[in-house]
Amino acid sequence: MLDVKPSKRYRSAMKARRMNGAGNRFILADVRGRAGRVSPAADQVRRWAGEFQFDQLLVLEDADGADAFMRIWNADGDEVGACGNGTRAAAQAMMQDDALDRVAIGTVGGLLHADTAGNGQIRVDMGEPRLNWQNIPLAREMDTVQLDFAAEAGGVRVENPGAVNMGNPHAVFFVRDVESLPLAAIGREIEMDPVFPERVNASFAQIFDASHIRLRVWERGAGITAACGTAACATLVAAHRRGLAARSASIMADGGELHVEWRERDNHVVLTGPVEDEGEVDIQL
């Protein structure tokens, strides 16, 4: 287990970065080396999300055994354990600032390794998917390849998703026409269903062929997002388990293209995609 260095809380104005990964929006604050720890209340995170328009707030802290420990808050103020595109964004910033070719980032979901993949792409090894029903988690035992679950909203019914935990829980529905879904209505319905005791990220995937998938996502605690890295990973895993996709595929999100590989040799899922640094913002942390 990583040793996250303890420190007293602080509150002061500082510079933070506005970043995005395939359209997934972040505010990244690097507080390594400072005599304080950021522990914002949920209502404060919600206010910042309204002001800065982010999907997740990312904070880098000092840690032994890694280049940093990253804490993650969704826009609704909940602290969560994983964010694939956020990890890629943090990795790019750290590699640029610290003149590194690769970095190790600790998260609640585990230690993640990231490096550059060329052509402005950042790659992160997201580790092994968790596929047991207790680890999703689900409220009752079910086959996670194809859950005995359905939801309906706006006159549209979706059913039998695959379930995957990539550091956070995902339900992946395979649909014929992802563009026509009432995404907000049905995503909210699924997120809050009691079969998912920790709520869930709802992904909707349209399979074009074994290596090309269109994806739209309702993120737990953030709503509709232009992309979600862990959802892209979960989608590839769920699709391959159903025989719908190869172990490697391009995932086209609303905000851009991600590439996911589920490696057979070590069972790890690797996420690759673009990152943009949109400049500094002042934030009162």
Please give the positions annotated as active site.
83, 228
- Contact assessment for residue 196 and residue 138, using Cβ atoms and an 8 Å cutoff: yes
Q: Quick one: residue 267, left, alpha or beta (phi over 0 = left, psi -120 to 50 = alpha)?
A: left
The helices-and-strands tally (H runs, E runs) of the chain is 4, 21
The phi, psi pair for 7, rounded to 5°, reads -160, 160
In the chain, the amino acid numbered 91 is A
The span from the CA of 258 to the CA of 87, in Å, is: 14
Look at residue 281 and give its three-state secondary structure. Answer: strand
In this structure, the number of other CB atoms found within 10 A of the CB of residue 51 comes to 11
- Which residue matches tokens 């694939």? 84
CA distances in angstroms from 255 to 39, 164, 252, 276, listed in the order given = 30, 22, 8, 12
How far is CA 193 from its chain centroid? Answer: 20
Q: Could you tell me which of 239, 237, 234 has the C-alpha nearest to residue 209?
A: 239
Count the Cβ atoms, other than its own, within 10 Å of residue 117: 15
Amino acid found at 22: A
Which residues have CB under 8 Å from 119's CB, separation 6+? none
Distance CA 56, CA 48 (A): 10
> What is the separation of C-alpha 38 from the centre of its chain, rounded to a whole number of angstroms?
21
